[in-house]
Amino acid sequence: MNKTRLPVRGASLFLALLPTVTPAAAANDSMSVARPISAVIEDYVRLGSESSLTLENQRLQAEQSEMALRAAQARLRPEVSINSRYTVNSGGREITAPIDELLNPAYQTLNQLLVSMGQPARFSMLTPSGFPLLRAREQDTHLSLRQPLYAPGLLDGIEANRAAAEAAQLGSVAALRTQRRDITHAYLITQKARAASLIVAGSVNILQENLRINESLYANGKITQDAVLRARAELLSATQQRIEADQGRDQAQRALNLLLNRPLESVVEDAAPGDDATLMALLNDEIDSANTVVERARRTRPELQQLRRATESAEAQLRAAQSRRGPTVALGVDTGVQGENFGTGPRYNYLSGSLLLEWTIFDGGARSASIASARLAARQTDNLRQLAEQKIEMEARAALDAALAARESLAAAQARAAAASAAFRIASRKRDEGASTQIEFLDARNALTTAELNLAWTRLDLIERRADLQFAAGSGTELLGAAP
C-alpha cells in the first residue's frame, strides 16, 4: 500500500524507546477530557482544505479547463466583427482607355465631309485618356459574420475539452482526499508522539521513586550499592529519553502545521481516541470482502475516473486531428459602406454573402504528424490508466489486510498490557520487601512500558487503518462531488 509518511524523526525515536520507557497513569486521564479524535481531525482537514496551496492550484486548474471548454464551445456560434479601413494612395498602376484610337478616325472623316460641304469642322480630336487603379483616398467599413456549417473537428475539440474539464475536477477531488489522508496520518503521528512523551515522563516519576526506595534499602543494609547506582543510571537514561521524546513531539507538531500551511509553532490540539469498542465498531464498518473493496475502488476512486476522462479527451483529440484532413464549410456575410469618404446611400452601401469552402490538399505532412502525436498521447494515457488500476487494486487489498491485522492486534495488545501490569505490581511489592533483584524489577517495568505504549499505538493504528481503508476503497468520493 502506498502511504504518505511525514519525515518525523520522533516516530523512529519512539520505537527505540520501547524497551526502556514506563507508562504514566496521568496520560489516560489527560486524554479522557479531550475532544473526540474524529472531531479534531475533521477540523484540521477543513482548515487544511481552506489554506492548502496545492488544493488552490488544483481548483485553479479546474477553472482553467472549464474556461477552455467554453472557448471551444464558442467556436460553433456565429462570429461577428466590425472592420474599418481608411487608405491614402499615391502612384500605382494606371488604366488607359484607347477611346481616342477608336473615335479619332471617325471624327476625322466626318470633319472632312463637313469641310467638303462648305461647313466648318465640328468634331475635335480626342486625346489619350485613363484613370488610376487606386483611389487617392478610400475607406471601407463593414460588418462581417462567419458561421461554421460543417466542421467536425470543432465538435471533437469540444468533446476533448469537456473530458479534460471533468478530469481536472476529479483531480481536485483526488487532491482533497489525499490531503485528508495526509492530515489524518500527520495528526495521528502527533498523538503517538504525545503518548510516548507522556509515558516517558511517567517513567521518570517511577524511576525517581525507585531510586528513593533503593537508597532507603541501601541505608538499611538490605541491598548493596550497585543497586542504587543502577537505579540512578536508569533514571538518568529516562530523563534523557524524556528530552528526546519531547523533541520528537515538537517535530511531529511542526510537520502537521507545515501541512496545514500555518506557523510551525502553532499549538496542536490533543484528542481522545475513544473507547476500544467504538474504535473496533468503526473499523468493522469499513471492512468488507477483498473483491468488494477492489470493485468499489475501481468504481469510485477519483484518480481512476480522472484517468478515464483523460483517456476520453486524448481519443477526442485524435479524432479532431484526423478530421482536419477533410473540408470545412462556413457561411460568410459582409455588409457596410465604402468609397472615397464616409457616406451612406446607394453609391456607398454594399452587401455580399459567401459560402466558404476550405480544404487543405497538401501541408508538407503537418497533419499526419499531428495525428501520429495524438495517437501516441492516447496510448500513453490509456497505459497510465491501466497502471493506476493495478496500483489501486494492490493498494485496496493492502489496506484491507492491514485493517484486518489491526483488528486482531487490539485484543492481543489489551491482554499483553493487562499481563504486564499485573507482573509489574508483583515485582514492585517484591522489590519493596527486598525479595527480588533490581534486574527483575526493571525487566517488569520495561515489559509494562512496552505493553502500554503498544496498546496506545494500537488504538491509534485502528484509526489510521480505517482512514487508509476509506481512502483506498474510495469511500466518501460521492460526497466530495465525484460522479461514480
pLDDT at site 210: 80
Round to whole Å and give the CA distance between 431 and 437: 7
- With a cut of 80, say whether residue 152 has pLDDT above it: yes
Tell me whether residue 387 is exposed, middle or buried, using C-beta atoms within 10 angstroms of its C-beta: 0 to 12, 13 to 18, 19 or more. Answer: exposed
What 3-state class would DSSP assign to 95? strand
Using pLDDT thresholds of 50, 70 and 90, give the confidence band for residue 105.
Answer: confident
Mean predicted confidence (pLDDT) in 207-219: 84
pLDDT at site 218: 84
pTM for the model stands at 0.71
Q: Considering the domain 9-77+153-326+369-479 in this protein, what is its CATH number?
A: 1.20.1600.10
Q: Evaluate whether 340 touches 139 at the Cβ level (below 8 Å).
A: yes
- With a cut of 70, say whether residue 180 has pLDDT above it: yes
Secondary element (H or E) of residue 337: strand 328-339
Comparing C-alpha atoms, which of 72, 154, 140, 77 is closest to residue 331? Answer: 77
Using pLDDT thresholds of 50, 70 and 90, give the confidence band for residue 90.
Answer: confident
* Residue whose C-alpha cell reads 456575410 in the numeric block: 333
Which residues lie across from 272 on neighbouring strands?
Answer: 36
Using pLDDT thresholds of 50, 70 and 90, give the confidence band for residue 475.
Answer: confident
How many other CB atoms are found less than 10 A from the CB of residue 35?
Answer: 12
At 405, list the grid cell.
491485522
117-128 pLDDT, tens digit each: 888 888 888 777
* Residue whose C-alpha cell reads 456607398 in the numeric block: 348
How many other CB atoms are found less than 10 A from the CB of residue 389?
Answer: 18
162-175 pLDDT, tens digit each: 999 999 999 999 99
Using pLDDT thresholds of 50, 70 and 90, give the confidence band for residue 114.
Answer: confident
pLDDT at site 7: 33
Round to whole Å and give the CA distance between 204 and 210: 10
At 462, list the grid cell.
485502528
Q: Evaluate whether 175 touches 339 at the Cβ level (below 8 Å).
A: no
Q: Give backbone dihedrals phi and psi of 82, rounded to 5 degrees, phi first.
A: -110, 130
Round to whole Å and give the CA distance between 339 and 358: 30
Tell me whether residue 217 is exposed, middle or buried, using C-beta atoms within 10 angstroms of its C-beta: 0 to 12, 13 to 18, 19 or more. Answer: buried
Q: Say which range, 37-41, 391-395, 437-441, 461-465, has the weakest mean pLDDT.
A: 437-441
pLDDT at site 33: 60
Using pLDDT thresholds of 50, 70 and 90, give the confidence band for residue 20.
Answer: very low
Q: Which amino acid is at 150?
A: Y
Domain ranges in the chain are 9-77+153-326+369-479
285-303 pLDDT, tens digit each: 878 766 788 888 888 899 9
pLDDT at site 11: 34
Average pLDDT over the chain reads 83
Using pLDDT thresholds of 50, 70 and 90, give the confidence band for residue 480.
Answer: very low
pLDDT at site 374: 92
Q: How many CA atoms lie within 13 A of 451 on its CB side?
A: 20
pLDDT at site 81: 95
